[in-house]
Structure 1
Amino acid sequence: MADTPDNSMVAQSRRLSVEERLSQLEEEQAQLRQELASLAGELRLPGMYLAVDAAGTSALMDAETVQEVVRLVELEPLPGAPAHVAGTFVYRGSPAIVVDLAALLGVKREASLDAHLVVCGGGARTVAVLVDRVRDLVESPVLVDGTPDGTSPLPWDASGLMAGLCRTPEGVRPLLRTAAVLVGPEAP
């Protein structure tokens, strides 16, 4: 049965509602993590986190949302797309939208040929996050309160992309709010 315009609008409305709720839950989760960190000395986050570099900073992404990491491929531009949408490519037979993490942070740059696409799934569409480099996997990082040096906030913090800060063996890194990266203005 083909989608009628009414079915398509209902599905899109439902998806937007689910994406909005997911974003709200991530915000609440970030607040609860900060509260736990202030109450409990040392709080280890369960699971694995992918360390990525973008816009001159290393950050963590929840590895549970990651399907695969691939090298940057040629992207097809999407006319009229928001500035942070770098384009699209075919991933395993389906279209994938590419979100440039640096552009979300307001950093304009041409992606290196050595850049990576972190392909994330679980939503209504496949989204790949364009990063400069994938560093490693971090198991159970320690959630910390405040900024790395205790002074000014990171650019990630002002962007709404940061769920908190984590201490890893390599130093303090921002923890990305995955929904804030994957759910953004709709691409055409």
Structure 2
Amino acid sequence: MSDTPNNPVDAQVRRLTVQERLSQLEAEQARLRLELASLAGELRLPGMYLTLEAAGTSALLPADAVQEVVRLVELEPLQGAPPHVAGTFIYRGSPAVAVDLAVLLGVRRLPDLDAHLVICKGARTVAVLVDRVKDLVETPVLVDGTPDGSAPMPWDATGLMAGLCRTPDGVRPLLRTSAVLVGSEGS
């Protein structure tokens, strides 16, 4: 008997289990990043990070999680989907789901025609709908706490934030990719 489940219910349970474990690992990674930042003084995260703008704020997404950035296309509503699922579209001949980052943050708005879809790498095609993609940041500095003792950022309560990074343009939350991808499941 093979290790791969043939039953669609078993496959769905396995997918949810793997997604839950990935989310737990990202949470542990975020906790360890904060601990390192408090111990090491200045910790630079390796790699490139894309700066996304949504709901009046900006965040970083690891560039290695991004397949492509495209202009907003017409989205078909998905019946019964939660409000943060903006709809579906066809990406390079395959169906894709668009998750609205602003709605995940609690901001309802109609996206501008200048909005972008950030296509994430993964087994399924999921795009993050953002107001704008600003630039790439190389090796941002991980920081501890909220910037300058200010009020908590809107990202804090959403489960989307893996940590805070200092960039040339200020402190930005680091987005947890798995939180957006799990959100596309319609939970």
Q: TM-score range by the shorter chain?
A: over 0.9
Residue by residue, what CA displacement relative to the aligned partner does 1:15-70 show, whole Å, maximum 9, x if unpaired? 11111111000000000000000000000001111000000001000111100000
What residue number does 1:88 align with?
88
What residue number does 1:152 align with?
151
Secondary structure of the residue that 2:183 maps to in structure 1? coil
Query: Deviation at 1:186?
Result: 2.3
Residue by residue, what CA displacement relative to the aligned partner does 1:86-124 show, whole Å, maximum 9, x if unpaired? 00000011111000000000000000000000000223x
What residue number does 1:177 align with?
176
**2:162 paired with 1:163:** yes
**Mapped contact 2:99–2:183 kept (Cα < 8 A):** no
Query: Deviation at 1:11?
Result: 1.2
Alignment-mate amino acid for residue 92 of structure 2: R
What residue number does 1:69 align with?
69
Secondary structure of the residue that 1:167 maps to in structure 2? strand
What residue number does 1:132 align with?
131
What residue number does 2:109 align with?
109
What residue number does 1:98 align with?
98
Alignment-mate amino acid for residue 137 of structure 1: L
Matched-pair identity in % = 78
Query: Deviation at 1:185?
Result: 6.0
CA RMSD of aligned residues (A): 1.5
What residue number does 1:32 align with?
32
**Mapped contact 1:78–1:187 kept (Cα < 8 A):** no
Q: For 1:137 and 1:162, how far apart are their aligned partners in 2?
A: 18
**Mapped contact 2:37–2:143 kept (Cα < 8 A):** yes
Q: Which has the larger displacement, 12-21 or 33-42? A: 12-21
What residue number does 1:15 align with?
15
Query: Deviation at 1:12?
Result: 1.1
Q: For 2:119 and 2:185, how far apart are their aligned partners in 1?
A: 18
The two structures have a TM-score, normalised by structure 1, of 0.94
Alignment-mate amino acid for residue 122 of structure 2: G
Q: For 1:173 and 1:187, how far apart are their aligned partners in 2?
A: 27
* Displaced runs of 4 or more, over 3 A: none
Secondary structure of the residue that 1:157 maps to in structure 2? coil
Query: Deviation at 1:127?
Result: 0.3
What are structure 1's unaligned runs of at least 5 residues? none
Q: Which has the larger displacement, 146-155 or 133-142? A: 146-155
The two structures have a TM-score, normalised by structure 2, of 0.94
Q: For 2:23 and 2:134, how far apart are their aligned partners in 1?
A: 26
Task: List aligned pairs for 1:117-128, cutoff 5 A.
Answer: 117-123=117-123, 125-128=124-127
Residue by residue, what CA displacement relative to the aligned partner does 1:109-165 show, whole Å, maximum 9, x if unpaired? 000000000000223x11000000000111110000111121321110111111111
